[in-house]
Amino acid sequence: MRLVFLGAPGVGKGTQADRVTAQFAWPKISTGDLLRDAVRNKTVLGLQAKKCMDEGKLVPDTVVIEMVRARLADPLCQVGFILDGFPRTVSQAEELGRMFAGRGLTLDRVINFHVSREDIVKRLSGRRSCPKCQSVFHVDFAAPKVSGICDRCGELLVQRSDDKPETIAARLKVYDEQTAPLIAYYEQKHTLTNLDGSGDMEDVYGRLVQVLDRLGVK
Ligand code: AMP
């Protein structure tokens, strides 16, 4: 299965992609995670991307497209994959279409997660993540056993710099202007399924599994 998880920041697509990856062993390709790795490792690309990310803006298309191209060439991706957070602009989607065509692949489905704006802001502002093992928690909805400490590896949890209130607003504006047009783009290609992303993680996963069932995934 080759899937794209689409939706505004904070709709839970990364969390759901992790669940699917754990169950079906399709790798998750998250451009946000790849960029954060580059920033952590202080690579040239990471240093270039950091400013855009901190301001809630998109990193230039050419940078993310090349990252995705390299990742798709990984033999592990031959069984299928989930693209999380890519494409985010129409031109990224067009380039993805060309990459697939060049490899004789088809995109099976784009799952568009929807959550109210109010819930998105609550989810993003309470999100805390582990800088070491990348586990994600929420101060109210998925609190760690010991406040501020990662359940998995004991590291101190941090708030992502782009989850601060002013950056959340900027990211949502960027989503409305540059990413939301992808809904119509994929609707026209008859590859879009809308998914209600509200409620807790288990409810959303249950709905997602129903969609995957309908696509014939066993
Ligand atoms: P995410 O973790 O998906 O919310 O991504 C965090 C940040 O990484 C975004 O706010 C952007 O600055 C950058 N980013 C991630 N994916 C992309 C993409 N496909 N195109 C451009 N920038 C991206």
Say if ligand 1 is within 6 A of residue 32 CB. yes
Is 173 a residue whose pLDDT tops 80?
yes
Mean pLDDT highest for which of 30-39, 43-52, 130-139, 174-183? 174-183
**Residue 158: what are its φ and ψ, rounded to 5°?**
-130, 160
Report the atom number in ligand 1 closest to the C-alpha of 60.
21
Torsion of CA 48, 52, 54, 57, to 10 degrees: -160
Q: Reduced to 3 states, what is the DSSP secondary structure of residue 36?
A: helix
Structure-token pair, residue 104: 């004789």
Say if ligand 1 is within 6 A of residue 174 CB. no
Q: Characterize the bridge pairing of strands 192-196 and 109-114.
A: parallel
Is 218 a residue whose pLDDT tops 70?
no
For residue 138, the surrounding DSSP H or E stretch is strand 136-138
DSSP string, 3-26: EEEE--TTSSHHHHHHHHHHHH-P
Say if ligand 1 is within 6 A of residue 90 CB. no
**Residue 178: what are its φ and ψ, rounded to 5°?**
-110, -30
Give, as one character, the DSSP assignment of residue 158: B
Structure-token pair, residue 87: 């494409």
Question: CA angle 210-77-115, nearest 5°?
Answer: 40
Q: Across residues 124-135, what is the average pLDDT?
A: 92
Query: pLDDT over 90 for what percent of the chain?
Result: 85
- Give residue limits of the domains in the chain: 2-115+166-212
Residue type, 88: R
Torsion of CA 166, 170, 176, 182, to 10 degrees: -130
Given CATH 3.20.20.60, say whether it is the number of domain 2-115+166-212: no
For residue 53, the surrounding DSSP H or E stretch is helix 44-54
Question: Residues, the chain, total?
Answer: 218
Q: Reduced to 3 states, what is the DSSP secondary structure of residue 81?
A: strand
Catalogue the active-site residues: 13, 88, 127, 160, 171
Ligand 1 geometric centre to CA of 177 (Å): 14
pLDDT in tens, 96-128: 999 999 989 999 999 999 999 999 999 999 999
For residue 5, the surrounding DSSP H or E stretch is strand 2-6
CA–CA gap between residue 77 and residue 2 (Å, rounded): 9
Q: Across residues 125-142, what is the average pLDDT?
A: 92
- 27 pLDDT tier (thresholds 50, 70, 90): very high
Nearest CA to ligand 1 atom 14: 32
Ligand 1 geometric centre to CA of 69 (Å): 16
